Structure 1
């Protein structure tokens, strides 16, 4: 059986799965019949989600995962490969968004965004790509943002990381004829992204906009599910999902 066909049960890894888009995606894909491995640093929250899904007779498991730790990501992927024989889909979702003007010189937060939003995606790709290439089958879904399509004040570094994710996704797509690559660009989405770091003014403005017009994380999860569900010869390369009123 072709494990990339729309009717197949896939082994799916989701990073940053303890809340927001990652959690919603894990829930959606598990409900669709896939086996989902949730990874995040906050294992207490992962345990709650997994317990709830297992009580609904869904196929899930979890493990601690810090995407900034390259060796840790490699070990995480290797454990999945040893347990299931393959990874069909990687959803690179983990991300941070501490908003602040460049003049605030939040250099540590600049580094954090580069480490999580960009290096974390690269670490995920490095961990799963060899086995996918060996099988000539696999799907890598990178969660970017509408910040990969435009630049806004206070979001310069965040936008830079998301532009980079979009660029490397396209490069990966062009390099491989067997591996499907999808980049999903969410607009304002209700999550925890604006709750940590940045400046109070910038984070507060983002929170207010999200509370007013933000999509539920489930809307993004459905977009991911759509891309994954396509036949193996159909590669949905890019999906942009915005609230209708977002400009």
Structure 2
């Protein structure tokens, strides 16, 4: 248990697997009361059973503003407050720009960028009240764009820009903003890629290194949100030791 987070209320988006699930479990182990949101509600129930503390499972689609507002409202209704938002929902549909299926672009922008914006918008009144924390799960792709990651990188660069603007607006009101930028993590993310050549390249690259585990990112989030109130950890860049870019 950590006194800085014990009893605090956390909402984690994209919590049905990977980094979101690991973060929800890690914060629960530190004594937080955790609301978990995702589209795959059945997976959230098994997460709730694994968690050491109280977990509220919420069906959540971050691309739907009504769904996001409802999740924030249900969290506050159930727990009485909202102290931390972990914006983790995301999709990676890498591929070349030439000849791309642009519906995949729309999906990435709506999920990764607009979805995180909608969640901040819905949570912010409560976070201002509690002097809470926004954790934005971004990516090394939010710093360095590479071939075949143009739109994914654009969404992550967008998260960085939005987060810095948000930080400047709310930091003097006691709300801290944390951007976490993981490199290669062993999650389902690369499995979303529909281009077979790009998916094979992603798998080959991941196999060439000791990839991060979701728990490694969860530990970084726990570190950021358990600092004293006068300490704002604004950015954490965390790569596998073997990752060069």
**TM-score, structure 1 length as denominator?**
0.94
By how many angstroms is 1:51 displaced?
1.4
Q: Does 1:237 align with 2:234?
A: yes
- Structure 2 residue runs without a partner (length 5+): none
CA distance in 1: counterparts of 2:8 and 2:203, whole angstroms: 35
CA distance in 1: counterparts of 2:5 and 2:110, whole angstroms: 36
Q: Does 1:142 align with 2:136?
A: yes
Question: Which residue does 1:51 correspond to in 2?
Answer: 49
> For the Cα contact (< 8 Å) 1:16–1:40, is it kept in 2?
yes
> For the Cα contact (< 8 Å) 1:190–1:211, is it kept in 2?
no
Question: Which residue does 2:94 correspond to in 1?
Answer: 99
Q: Does 1:157 align with 2:155?
A: no
CA distance in 2: counterparts of 1:208 and 1:64, whole angstroms: 34
- Structure 1 residue runs without a partner (length 5+): none
Q: Does 1:193 align with 2:189?
A: yes
1:47-196 aligned at under 5 Å gives the runs: 47-53=45-51, 57-133=52-128, 135=129, 137-176=131-170, 177=172, 178-196=174-192
> For the Cα contact (< 8 Å) 2:105–2:151, is it kept in 1?
yes
Question: How many positions carry a matched residue from both structures?
Answer: 240
CA distance in 2: counterparts of 1:203 and 1:70, whole angstroms: 31
Runs of 4+ that moved beyond 6 A = none
By how many angstroms is 1:136 displaced?
5.4
CA distance in 1: counterparts of 2:149 and 2:121, whole angstroms: 27
Question: Which residue does 2:215 correspond to in 1?
Answer: 218
CA distance in 2: counterparts of 1:92 and 1:235, whole angstroms: 17
**TM-score, structure 2 length as denominator?**
0.94
| 3-state DSSP of counterpart to 2:36 | strand
CA RMSD between the two structures: 1.4
By how many angstroms is 1:106 displaced?
1.5
> For the Cα contact (< 8 Å) 2:5–2:32, is it kept in 1?
no
> For the Cα contact (< 8 Å) 1:144–1:165, is it kept in 2?
yes
| Partner residue of 2:37 out of 36, 39, 43 | 39
